[in-house]
A and B are shown apart, each in its own frame.
Chain A
Amino acid sequence: MAKKYHVTTTVNGDEYEYLCEPQQTLLDILRDELTLTGTKEGCATGDCGACTVMVDGVMVCSCLVLAVETDGCKVETIEGMAQGDKLHPLQQKFLELNGTQCGICTPGILIAARELLKRNPDPTESEIRYWLAGNLCRCTGYDKIIRSVQAAAKEMRGG
C-alpha cells in the first residue's frame, strides 16, 4: 500500500484533514475525498479550466496542484461562492442572462470571473475574453457568458 500524506487545509472556511497519495491532485481530493463535486474534471491536464479554484488567493487549475502542496493552504471553490441564500451577482446574472447551458463549465468560469472583477471592476469585452481564455465552453459560444460578466460587473460597480 503506497505511503499516504497527511494534509490539513481550509476549504470555503471549513477545516479539513485527510490522507492522500502524493500524486493525487487537489481536484481528485476535492471531488473524491471531500465530495465537493462542484469543481469539475474536463481534461485533468490544465487545458479546459473546469477545475478552477482559488488557492491562497491565486486562481489555479486544481488538476495542476498536488493535494500535498496545499497543506496549510486556504482553498475556495464554487460551493463557497454564494453567501447563504444570497447568490453572488455573477451567479445571479448567469441565471438571468442564460450564461449557463449544460452547466459543466460554469463553476470554473464563475470562479475565474469573480477573480477578474476583483482585480478589474470595469473590464472591456476583450479583457474578459482573454481572462477567460483558459475556460473552455462548448455550449454557449461564450456570448452570453461575456454578457453575464459585463452585467454583473456593472451591478457591482453600482451601475
Chain B
Amino acid sequence: MDVRYEAPETLQAAVALLAGASGPARILAGGTDVIVQMETDLIEPALLVDIKKIPETRQITPEAGGFRIGAAVPGMEIMGHAGLCKAWPGVLDGVKLIGSIQVRGRASIGGNLCNASPAADSVPPLIAAGAIARIVGSKGTREVPVEQIPAGPGKTTLAKDEIIVSFLLPPRPPHSGDAYQRFTPRTEMDIAVVGVGVNLTLDNGGTCTAARVALGAVAPTVLLSKECADALIGTKVDDAALERLAAAASAACKPIDDKRGTKEYRIKVAGVLARRTALQALDVARKN
C-alpha cells in the first residue's frame, strides 16, 4: 500500500487535497472505521486527509440557541459536554453506544455518518433531532439535513471533494425530549440489529405537537419515517398511539437477512423498540 498522509490546517487546504487526488482518498477523523477497513484490506486509499488539525471540525459551540458540533469531535468529548447531554439525551444515547470507551476516545459523529453503515448509532437520533450538516467543497459551502447524506451502505451524497465540517442542533422548545435505543444481542460492542431515534415535542396539555422518528439498520439507509411521526402527532402518546407507532415502524422497515438479524426479526423488534424509545423520549419531554 502506497498511501500518502496529509494533515492540513485549513478547510481550503483539505478541500484542495481531495479535489486534486488522483487515486481513492479518504477523510481521516477518528479513524475507527477507516483504519479498520485498511487493516482488513477492504479499502486501499492513495491519500488520507486528516482533518483533526482544522479547528472548525473540533469545537462544540453554542449557536442560535442550539449547538454546533465539529464533525471530528471525539465521542468522549461529546459525552463530557454538560449542555449537550442536557439538551439532547437521545443524541448522547446514540454516541454512547458507538463501540467501546476506547473507540469513543477517537470516533466522531462525522465519521459515523460518512461511513454510512445503515446501523450507525449516532445517525438515527441526529436525524430525529433535525440536525443540519455544514458541508464545504470546492464549489462552496452548503447546509444539508443529515437524512440527505447517506445514499446506501458505504455511500454518501457528498462529492469527492466535500467535507462535513460540523453539525447544527436546533434550539429545544419546552416540553421536548429525544431518545435512542437499539437492539443488540450483547450489552455492548455489537452493531445494532435495529436502532430507533425518537424526538418529540409536547404542548402544555401534554399533546404531541411535533415528532421525528428515525429507524436504523432496517433499510439501506436510516429511514426518517413520516408514518411513525404521524402516529404520535396530535396524540397524548398513549397506548393506542404507541401501538400505531409500533405498527408503522414495522411497516416502514425494508430490512435484509444477515449475520446480525433476520428480516422477520428486525421487523418485529423495530415495532418493539419504537414503542420503548418513544416512551423514553416522552419521559424526557415531560420533565422539560
Contact = CB atoms under 8 A, between A and B. Distances in A.
A and B touch in the complex (CB under 8 A): yes
Interface of A: 2-3, 5, 21-23, 25, 44-47, 49, 52, 55, 58-61, 63-66, 68-69, 112, 115, 130-131, 133-135
Contacts of A133: 100-101, 187-189
A64 B2 contact: no
A60 B102 contact: yes
A61 B7 CA distance: 21
B102 A52 contact: yes
Interface in B53-100: 74, 76, 99-100
Contacts of B188: 130, 133-134
A47 B99 CA distance: 8
B238 interface: no
B5 to A, nearest CB: 4
Contacts of B102: 46, 49, 52, 59-61, 64, 112, 134
A66 B189 contact: no
Contact of B1 (A2, A61, A112): A2
B100 A49 contact: yes
Interface string B130-149: 00000000000000000000
B32 interface: yes
B74 A45 contact: no
B74 A58 contact: yes
B19 interface: no
Contacts of A65: 31, 35, 106
A69 B103 contact: no
Interface in B1-60: 1-5, 7, 28, 30-32, 35-36, 38-40, 48, 50, 52
Contacts of A69: 7, 28, 31, 50, 52
A130 B32 CA distance: 20
Nearest to A132: B101
B39 A59 contact: no
B32 A64 contact: yes
A5 B5 contact: yes
A45 B39 CA distance: 7
A58 B35 CA distance: 18
B105 interface: yes
B35 A64 contact: yes
Given A52-B102, A112-B102, A134-B100, A22 B3 contact: yes
A47 B40 CA distance: 13
Given A46-B99, A68-B5, A134-B100, 11 more contacts: A22-B3, A45-B36, A46-B32, A46-B103, A47-B189, A64-B32, A64-B102, A65-B35, A130-B188, A134-B188, A135-B100
B121 to A, nearest CB: 14
Contacts of B74: 58
A95 B251 CA distance: 55
A23 B38 contact: yes
A59 B102 CA distance: 5
A64 B35 CA distance: 6
A64 B4 contact: no
Identify the interface centre among B1, B5, B105: most chain A CB within 10 Å of its CB.
Answer: B105
Contacts of A61: 100, 102-103, 106
A50 to B, nearest CB: 10
Contacts of A112: 101-102
Contacts of A130: 187-188
B8 to A, nearest CB: 14
A41 to B, nearest CB: 11
B105 A59 contact: yes
A66 B105 contact: no
B45 to A, nearest CB: 9
Nearest to B96: A130
A90 to B, nearest CB: 16
Identify the interface centre among B5, B31, B102: most chain A CB within 10 Å of its CB.
Answer: B102
Contacts of A3: 2, 4
Nearest to B76: A58
7 contacts: A3-B2, A25-B39, A58-B105, A60-B106, A61-B100, A130-B188, A134-B103
